[in-house]
Structure 1
Amino acid sequence: MRISFLHTMDGNRQVFEQAAETLGLLAEDLHHEVRADLREAVDRTGALSDELRAQTNQRLLALAAGSDAVILTCGTLGPAVADINSQPVPIVRADVALAAAAAEVGGRIVVLCAAESAIESTKRLFAEQAGNSAESVEVVHVGHVWALFKAGDVQACLAATASSADEAYEAGATVVAFAHPWMAAAAGLVQKGRRPLDSPSAALHAATRRFNERSGHA
């Protein structure tokens, strides 16, 4: 199974490769395209314009031409996928896959979000996916984690992420979800509850499941 990724951060390449390795997928079957310019254009204009939606979908469809599934790892560009009426292969939004995985667990869902700019869209997405299946959905802003991430202090950033997850579990969370792909490495550091959900693993599970459904394997 060949999977292509459209990233807007080069650092996400490694995060998704690690998740793929855990699932037994081969590195040679993964293809990465990094288009930081698309995310930067949204940041400059403050909106995902029709032109940027079209550019995003052009890249997704180009990747689909040589793949069995495509994963869009940037939540900012995610809404563009809705414009693709007929997907030649499964095109998975990593953020939607994460929210759907949390909804499957249900109960009290707590989402850790480091970037303040992503809080509102994250709330909408998780609430939409959860519907009536969850008791509650809470998005917690962990600004101190974002500060460490931007400072490049990776170990402290991951430790702070894990600590925030532990606090959420101690406060009664059924499941914790990490809003950003780069948080995934903190999952193994969490001690108080079930392993938190991360978007790289959720997206790869969704992509392989949809591929198998289309192929009639499962």
Structure 2
Amino acid sequence: MTRIACLHTADSNAAVFDEALVTAGLTGVSLHHAVRADLLAAAERQGRLTPEIAAETVALLRGLSAGAGAVLLTCSTLGPAADDAALDSPVPVLRVDAALAAEAVEAGGRVVVLCAVETTVGPTRRLFEDAARATGATIDVRVVPQAWAAFKAGDRDRYHARVAEAADAAWAAGATRVALAQASMTGAAARLPADRRPLTSPAVGLAAAASRARTVPPKGP
């Protein structure tokens, strides 16, 4: 059995990743969910991922490695902390949007990346631009207006509707690929026709973590 520990900053993302596990067809994989919404809230107050918030996130990720085959950070704002945690972790530590970025830029062209929260823009742009160097893709990172306010108000329907509208507009303007930077945006994809659905991170991120994970021996009686 492969055990993946997920660090979320939104309670609702646990269900998103449980569903993505099925979508990805990953048998023999179990998920452990840890939620620290306060970390994203702190980054929003500061307007960025500060060294202090990053250090706390790194410590949490390293702690989650105990008993796990891999650790997956599902918050795009905190994403760079996964790279730091991976340096001396006993198991792979990944950021969920890394696999998304690789998939999005694979065909080159113009990639539009949608974000809901401002603090995600910087880490997301750096990640996607780094991935794009290998393919020549151009990266356009945008914030979806009013989406995050809807999410924080608990109105998931309006949140996903705003994201779907922005994705549809990006396709209409000639995007080669459209990607949703945050895992919480995943539900918006199903609102668009199959040939215009944006790329999302949970399933590909879990698949990447599973492919690199170490098998955790079963516990004794």
Shift of 1:79: 1.7
- Deviation string 1:140-182 (CA, Å, 9 cap, x unpaired) is 2211333332333222322232222122112211111001111
For residues 132-211 of structure 1, the aligned pairs below 5 Å read 132-191=134-193, 193-211=195-213
Higher helix share: 1
Asked whether the equivalents of residues 43 and 119 of structure 2 are also in contact (C-alpha less than 8 Å), the reply is no
1:27 & 1:18 partners in 2: Cα distance? 15
User: What is the CA distance between 1:122 and its match in structure 2?
Assistant: 2.2
Q: Which has the higher contact order (CA 8 A, sep 6+)?
A: 2
Matching of residues 7-26 of structure 1 within 5 Å: 7-25=8-26
Does 175-184 or 154-163 show the bigger shift?
154-163
Percent identity, please.
48
Q: In structure 2, what is the equivalent of residue 36 of structure 1?
A: 37
Pick one of 102, 120, 128 that aligns with 1:100: 102
Alpha-carbon contact 2:77-2:119 (below 8 Å) kept: no
| Kept in 2: contact 1:8–1:36 (CA 8 A) | yes
Distance 1:115 1:66, change over 3 A: same
The whole-number CA distance in structure 2 between the counterparts of 1:162 and 1:49 is: 31
Q: Aligned equivalents of 1:88 and 1:150: distance in 2?
A: 35
Tell me the distance in 2 between the aligned counterparts of 1:193 and 1:166.
11
Cα deviation per residue 1:13-62 (whole Å; 9 max; x = unaligned)?
Answer: 11111111212346981101112233334344555444433332222122
Partner of 2:125: 123
Q: Relative to structure 1, is the Cα distance of residues 28 and 111 closer, same or farther in structure 2, using a 3 angstrom cutoff? A: closer
Unpaired stretches in structure 2, ≥5 consecutive residues: 216-221
- Report how many aligned residue pairs link the two structures: 213
Question: 1:83 maps to which residue?
Answer: 84
Structure 1: distance between partners of 2:127 and 2:62 = 24
Relative to the length of structure 2, the TM-score reads 0.83
